[in-house]
Amino acid sequence: MFGHPDPYHHTIQDDVDKVDPSELKRVMMVTALSSLFMANSADEQAVELANETLLRGYGRIAKDVDRALKMLEKSVSSGNNLHKSYKEAVNIAEHSISREQEEVLSGKIFCQGKDAIRYVESLAKQLHQVKGELLQRIKAYYQFLCYGIKQKPRFIISLSDEEKEAKKLIPSRNPVFTGPLSNDYLIEALGDERIVEKLPLGGNLAYEAANFINGKRSLLEVRNALSAEYGPIELSKVKEYLEILQRAGLVRINPLE
């Protein structure tokens, strides 16, 4: 839809005269048709949307599992802790299934009848069944790799003391924190001109860390979601970042009740 690479994008020369009229028409058409579909959706459209979401979700899950398996393989070749990589690989698969279940169930908002709701929920249950198969596949590959390096596989995944503590902490967003976070806001709120340099997370990691905070996920679950999407991240860095947001009045980290 967008004609990148655009040499003017996000530059001082990114003016109206650089806009491609054809690209604007495509954007307008996609937006208008999507809005029309959602505004006039009934059970038939809700089911159609759920089916399409599930179909594309299978594709995303396949890519995630492939990434998990490659992580295990790379762990062997690089000499890293294979069991630690197994733990991260399982996290990737579990997060992937959970994410796609939420995507499918979000289509219930367009359902009007009970039959349509039950059908959408049945699709989410199908993903739950797939979860067991994917975890078994990762487990089998982990076992195969362990035997190859004469190492006994450890299938039980346990939490460290640090992870146990993080599981008891529930971050929630201040209601005023509704959009992307400006670095200028942090500088002003904390009175520290160099705070951006001190942030343990930046870019998409910082952006998504805030998005994963919903008042229900624990600090550990936020870390696991980030790691599943972007690769293993130290729990201490996620905690430090959220503590900075808490000092700025944007987040509260509450003990689990």
What integer is the mean pLDDT of 16-40?
87
What integer is the mean pLDDT of 198-214?
93
Q: Which domain holds residue 209?
A: 161-255
Residue 4 included in any domain:
no
Contacts of 245 (CB under 8 A, 6+ apart): 181, 210, 251
Read off the tokens for 170: 């529930």
| Contact predicate 222/163, CB 8 Å | no
With H, G, I as helix, E, B as strand and everything else as coil, classify residue 80.
coil
The answer to whether the Cα torsion of 161, 163, 164, 169 is positive or negative is positive
With H, G, I as helix, E, B as strand and everything else as coil, classify residue 151.
coil
For 54-100, the pLDDT digits (tens) are 999 999 999 999 999 999 999 998 877 999 999 999 999 999 999 99
As for how many domains the chain has, the answer is 2
235: domain CATH number is 1.10.10
Residue 229 included in any domain:
yes
What integer is the mean pLDDT of 242-246?
96
Residue 143 class from Cβ within 10 Å (0-12 exposed, 13-18 middle, 19+ buried)? middle
52: domain CATH number is 1.10.132
* Residues 47, 125 within the same domain: yes
Rounded to whole angstroms, the Cα distance separating 64 from 243 reads 30
Look at residue 1 in the predicted model and tell me its pLDDT.
Answer: 46
* Residues 51, 141 within the same domain: yes
Quote the pTM value.
0.86
The type of residue at 106 is S
